[in-house]
Amino acid sequence: MIRIHILGSAAGGGLPQWNCACVNCVAARAGKIDRQTQSSIAIGASSEEFQNWWLINASPDLPRQIETAPWLQPRRDAFRNSPIAGVLLTNADIDHALGLLLLRQQEKPLVVYATDETRAALAWLDRTLTRFCGIEWRKVSSDFQRLNGSIGFRAIDLPQSVAFQFLDEASNRLALVAPAVSKLTHDLSQASADSDVILFDGTFWSDDELAAVRPGARSARQMHHLPIRGGSLDFLRQSPARRKIYTHINNTNPIVMPGSPERAELEQAGIEVARDGLEMVL
Ligand SMILES: [Zn+2]
Ligand SMILES: [Zn+2]
């Protein structure tokens, strides 16, 4: 059995974002919709092993996320320890990697799985952490490799990022975690076709969404995020997965507002919107 726990469901900046007064950020500050921290997912096997949890991306909100998740906190029988075994990075985005710096008090080197491109792009962070715990880099592979317990995982190459597919070796069930998707590739389609659960990039509803709050802003596609409308919506609608969930959601995205027509469209399509603390079992 694999447990998947959404620590943070928002894209970079979170909800609300410190300098943003869009409709959603104003509503979150007013307590009308729930605040959401930045994108990170914890995955663990139900095993006796203590160091059982892996993080998919490490956001700047990680210390706060750990404090809201008792199973990610240290055991009380020793002063310094953590049930977090390591981190898997989908890309080198600041909102996915900055959390690594915040784990610098770690005693042993931090175990981080990433592509060579992501590792190269994070050379600055690697150098900074050398003065602390350092990083033990591990390569990702397109073939399944053992993560721990009964979890296998593999990376699906995408332009500018990877998605991860997790296999529960006990039940043979699969989960696809793809919080940064710029293109629906053949490999990604295949992986989603046989996955039981799909967590998918829901950064933007529309391609021109950001320009409405910041004139001259790049489009979703220029920022390597496939928008939902005209992008991933039909793909997910048609997917046979038991649960399909948008995550890594930007604060400007109308799907975070309950009752919005965009949210209703997702509900009709059988697609959920992630929120901090959402948990599922594979
Ligand atoms: Zn991101
Ligand atoms: Zn906003």
Q: Where do runs of H (alpha helix) occur along 30-92?
A: 62-67
Distance 191 CA to ligand 2 centre (A): 32
- For CA atoms 142, 66, 173, 188, give the dihedral sign: negative
| Residue-level pLDDT at 74 | 93
Distance 171 CA to ligand 1 centre (A): 31
| Residue-level pLDDT at 48 | 67
Ligand closest to the CA atom of residue 160: 1
- Three-class secondary structure of residue 193 per DSSP: helix
The H or E element spanning position 128 is helix 123-130
The H or E element spanning position 263 is helix 261-268
Distance 278 CA to ligand 2 centre (A): 22
Distance 26 CA to ligand 2 centre (A): 7
Question: 160: exposed, middle or buried (C-beta count within 10 Å: 0-12, 13-18, 19+)?
Answer: middle
DSSP code string of 132-169? TT-EEEEE--SS-EEEETTEEEEEEEETTEEEEEEEET
Distance 23 CA to ligand 2 centre (A): 7
| Residue-level pLDDT at 168 | 94
**What are the residues whose beta carbons fall under 8 Å from the beta carbon of 260, sequence distance 6 or more?**
254
10-residue stretch averages of pLDDT, the chain, 282 residues long = 95 97 97 98 81 94 96 91 96 96 93 98 97 96 92 96 96 96 96 97 96 90 95 96 98 97 98 97 89
| Residue-level pLDDT at 212 | 87
| Residue-level pLDDT at 214 | 87
Distance 281 CA to ligand 2 centre (A): 31
**Structural contact between residues 245 and 239, judged by C-beta atoms closer than 8 angstroms:** no
Give the residue among 269, 201, 266 at the shortest CA–CA distance from 12: 201
Distance 49 CA to ligand 1 centre (A): 30
Tokens 């959402």 map to which residue?
278
Ligand closest to the CA atom of residue 161: 1
How large is the angle between the packed helices 94-101 and 123-130, nearest 10 degrees? 10
**Structural contact between residues 5 and 37, judged by C-beta atoms closer than 8 angstroms:** no
Distance 82 CA to ligand 1 centre (A): 25
Distance 55 CA to ligand 1 centre (A): 14
Looking at the DSSP bridge assignments, the partners of residue 163 are 156
| Residue-level pLDDT at 245 | 98
